[in-house]
Chains A and B, each alone.
Chain A
Amino acid sequence: MKPLCRLAALLVLWMGATGARGDGGTMLLHQDAGPFTITLFAAPQPLQVGGADLSVMVQDRNSEEVLLDAVTDLSVAPEAERGVQQTVRLERGQASNRLLQAATVHFSRAGKWRLTLLIRRGNDVASLSTECTVEPGSSRAVLVWFYVLLPAGVILLFVIHQGLKFRQKKQEGVFRVIA
């Protein structure tokens, strides 16, 4: 992509935020693994079918210092079909909170999913897994209902507005007659 295109896309990306927000969310896992302490956050909570932000904080197990140079890969797979697996590299650039590494993961179906983290830093390697439940997506339906009901709300406000205007005009007319 050309630099100019990147610049033009910046504003729209800023508005739409296709990428991960990566400023945390709810904690899914906080566990020691090898020389690391790993914390995994997820948003939204509960996880739903569709895109989700997953972020990880990697710390030194002894000193609790945040390790910014650790390389983290996340694999997600439905429990029912372990063979179907997607792996993403978590990036610091994707996270608003620069102490975390984040990525957007797509959960294609509801049910149990297995999340596996592979962390590497120099010669140190650690891996850990956890399970999470993905619920059927309702965010799209909520979105549609919100935008469909929005005009109804505005129309209601407008009806009140017109009613007030009508009443005030009527009162002004009465005052004028009295005067």
Chain B
Amino acid sequence: MSDGVSQAAWSSWAFPFWATSGLLVAALVYLSGWRRIRRSRPELFPVWRAWCFLGGLFALWIAVASPLDTLDGLLLTAHMTQHLILMSVVPPLLLLGAPAVPLLRGLPRSAVRDGLGPFFRAPVLHRAARLVTGPTFAWLAMNIAYLAWHVPQAYELALRSPGWHEVEHACFLVTSLLFWFPIIQPWPSVGRGSRWAMLPYLVGADLVNTGLAAFLTFSGRVIYPSYAAGPRIFGISALGDQAAAGALMWVIGSIFYLVPVAAIAIHLLSPQSNRLAPISVMGTAKILRPSIAQRQAPRFDLLRLPLIGRLLRARYGRMALQSVAFITAVLVIADGFIGHPMGAMNLAGVLPWTYVRAFGVIALLVLGNIFCMSCPFMLPRELGHRLGLARLKWPRWLRSKWIAIALMILFFWSYEAFAIWDHPARTAWLLIAYFAAAFVVDTFFRGASFCKYLCPLGQFNFAGSLLSPFSLEARSQATCERCTTHDCIQGNQQQRGCELQLYMPQKAGNMDCTLCMDCVKACPHDNIGLFAIPPVRDVLRDPVRSSVGRFSSRIDIAVLVLVVVLAAFANAALMVGPVAARLSALGASLEKAVPLPLLGLGLVLVFSAAVVAVLLVVDLAGLWLSRSDDRANPSGREVFCRFSQALLPLGLAMWAAHLAFHLITGWATLGPAIHQASADFGWHFLALPQWRMELPLLSANSMLSLQLLLLDAGLLLTLYLGWRLAQHWTVRSSRAVLLLLPWATSVAAAYAVGVWIVLQPMQMRGMMNP
């Protein structure tokens, strides 16, 4: 065998994404829980336990990612080594890490208590666990699985089908975990029966292994036809490979059974048993329940992180982000006017509509309202403020979201009606209009009136940030109560306070927060952090929010959320063939009677009003069905407002699925567009662009999987929010179901529409993959 072939074989690693990610997450969760338990019970969890568990995970990764996996179709020896690792190395190592309690303690407390708790307390689960971890069941399960999968028909099936191959490996791993469980008795499980029984238990398994290994070793013919028919590598014949695999199973497999036999025997015969004493179920519960000190463990604060925290808190941190965004916006405007007329080859066509939109939605879901934080339109408006003309207060009767909602509908309509994505000059004009509006409004009106009451992009982000996992909050309410200056809202000589009138002690959630960090910089007590929060908290709670009030009384905010949700479906639907064709036909038939853009606006308004009306009727129907005398029924207004907000996950999921499509198919457009812009500006330090076809980042099936997965997540989160709200309003579960039913039906219908949309061929409409 040449060195090259050997090197090629050894470099045949597979790196499976999901398996690798899953193992990494398991390692992180275990380590987090292990560290927590060690604080109170270091004697139970010495360092070697963590090493064992991590070693088990690493061995599992080796089995599924190393050349053993890629060569298993060619070499039976490689395949048997892989099975040995899965059955005899991984399970004992994982169980020696006593993983049950560390894994539970490593998860969020609420997930364990509310999510897994009811299952763990269910008697049927206890009975099932007792059955499958019992020695008889475990011994039979492992040995039957072991023998059954080595029957030639089953083995060939696994070799032919990747899916069955994975089932085979899962069978080996799971049954082997059960097999090793009574031997290792991972804490806090309690041993059943005599430890002496483990000796025949292990010896019996070794006899089964020896029988099969001997059969493979001494058989005069190749048992598995695939190896006989396939190519031979490394100069080993198929029969030689089979004999080697059998010998490996025999010798190494026996060592894995007989060494524990010796260890258990020595241990039982030794005068003093030094085993870890099993503890009662109550004891486990005590360890699972964190102490008061641990319960008050500090929350994760993004502003405490070394680099990001310093940048966000820095005096000119936001301005630095805004300056980058401002320069980019200026370049986009310039290229929009003088650059290539094709949207897909111009910065004004590529940057805002392919990249910024998609990353904006991703940022909302993983971090927060990053777009408003780095908003370029606010930079010239600062100049307007400095002119000292901002003396007017925004009129009280306009202090709602209604104008912003109208502007948002206008924005979505004009995007479609004037094909802004495909006309760089129109995108440039839109940006100029935005700069001008922000400058004029905030030059004459105090505070951030434009952001709070007018900006359609801002309202989109405010609505979306209700699901964001981070929120600016006071570190200590006691410090706020002692504070007499209220700099977070009043400001001081060095730093202005919150322009959106969000008073930190009463601020709840992200509505109206632009993450400008003014409050953080103004607070003299350094008492404000950017904390991780459960993403559904904002929608589930309804306290009186500073400058916002209760969500249940804000119809304008409910309609704002509905517009965001509706626009998600409408914007995506207009890109798919069947809808575009129908609308074109309708436009052609009515064009003589009504101008096309006006017809579009009319359709948008009628459609929006119809959907809002239908939802109102649906909510009221649920309320009527669930009416009772048990408790004061919620008002129709409250149900409408809060059920509308609960639709947000599905709407954002639709936005994410749609914009991910553009980002993934047009992911390589930015580079050539920058080169094109540089050529258009007459800057020759960059080479001319090379426009050529690139494959999308994901295959068609992977893209569809991603889109459907996003919609699934949106649907489930929306239904969960609806259920929690319905439970809050009713005493009995049956009433909650009745209240939820009409609304949930409309949610399911919206989900079905979303699935239908992503299954249709989508037009790139001016965007392309170069």
Contact = CB atoms under 8 A, between A and B. Distances in A.
Given A1-B668, A144-B704, A154-B716, A30 B160 contact: no
B702 A15 contact: yes
B697 A99 contact: no
Contacts of A143: 701, 704-705, 708
B362 to A, nearest CB: 13
A5 B122 contact: no
Interface string A155-166: 100100110111
A99 B1 CA distance: 12
A68 interface: yes
Nearest to B71: A97
Contacts of A25: 162
Interface residues of A, number: 55
Contacts of B695: 18
Interface in B14-30: 14-15, 17
A171 B5 CA distance: 67
A15 B18 CA distance: 8
Contacts of A65: 1-2, 5, 235
Contacts of A26: 160
B438 interface: no
B702 to A, nearest CB: 4
Interface stretch (A6-14, A78-86, A110-118): A6-14
A29 B733 CA distance: 62
Interface in B683-733: 694-706, 708-709, 711-712, 715-716, 719-720, 733
A17 to B, nearest CB: 7
Interface stretch (B226-234, B402-410, B513-521, B588-596): B226-234
A139 B70 CA distance: 23
B118 A161 contact: yes
B708 A16 contact: no
B5 A147 contact: no
A18 B702 contact: yes
B74 interface: yes
A155 to B, nearest CB: 7
Contact of B13 (A12, A16, A39, A96): A96
Interface in B227-246: 229-233, 235
A45 interface: yes
Given A39-B231, A99-B5, A164-B118, A150 B701 contact: no
Given A45-B161, A65-B1, A51 B671 contact: no
Interface string A103-127: 0000000000000000000000000
B667 interface: yes
A164 B229 contact: no
Interface string B595-610: 0000000000000000
Interface string A12-41: 111111100001111100100000010101
Contacts of B712: 147, 150-151, 154
Nearest to A9: B697
A164 B708 contact: no
Contacts of B67: 97
B8 A9 contact: no
A150 B701 CA distance: 17
A21 to B, nearest CB: 8
Contacts of B702: 15-18
A168 interface: yes
Contacts of B738: none
Grouping DSSP codes into helix (H, G, I), strand (E, B) and loop, the A interface class, with mixed when no group exceeds half, is: mixed
A37 B699 contact: no
Nearest to B708: A147
Contacts of A148: 708, 755
Contacts of A23: 12, 14, 69-70, 73
A2 interface: yes
A176 interface: no
A16 B699 contact: yes
B119 interface: yes
Contacts of B15: 14
A142 B429 CA distance: 46
Interface residues of B, number: 63
Nearest to A69: B4
Interface in B625-682: 664, 667-668, 671
Nearest to A58: B231
B442 to A, nearest CB: 36
A91 to B, nearest CB: 13
A59 B733 CA distance: 69
A126 B759 CA distance: 44
A77 to B, nearest CB: 22
A30 B701 contact: no
Contacts of B73: 23-24, 41
Given A18-B697, A161-B119, A5 B231 contact: no
Most buried by B among A1, A15, A97: A97
Which of B4, B9, B231 has the most chain A CB atoms inside 10 A of its CB? B231
Nearest to B744: A155
B493 interface: no
Contacts of A27: 226, 229-230
A128 to B, nearest CB: 14
Contact of B698 (A16, A66, A98): A16
B308 to A, nearest CB: 19
Contacts of A63: 235
B272 interface: no
B8 A99 contact: yes
B386 interface: no
B17 A14 contact: yes
Contacts of A43: 162
Interface string A45-72: 1000011000001010001111010000
28 contacts: A9-B697, A14-B15, A15-B698, A15-B702, A17-B699, A23-B69, A23-B70, A24-B74, A39-B231, A41-B73, A45-B160, A50-B701, A51-B699, A64-B231, A65-B1, A68-B5, A68-B8, A97-B12, A140-B701, A140-B704, A143-B704, A147-B705, A147-B711, A161-B115, A161-B118, A166-B733, A168-B121, A168-B122
Given A1-B671, A65-B2, A148-B708, 8 more contacts: A16-B706, A23-B69, A23-B70, A68-B8, A96-B70, A98-B12, A151-B715, A151-B751
Q: Please give me the 8 A-B residue pairs with the lowest Cβ-Cβ distance, nearest first.
A: A16-B698, A147-B708, A16-B702, A98-B8, A164-B118, A97-B70, A165-B118, A39-B231
Interface of A: 1-2, 5, 9, 12-18, 23-27, 30, 37, 39, 41, 43-45, 50-51, 57, 59, 63-66, 68, 92, 95-99, 139-140, 143-144, 147-148, 150-151, 154-155, 158, 161-162, 164-166, 168
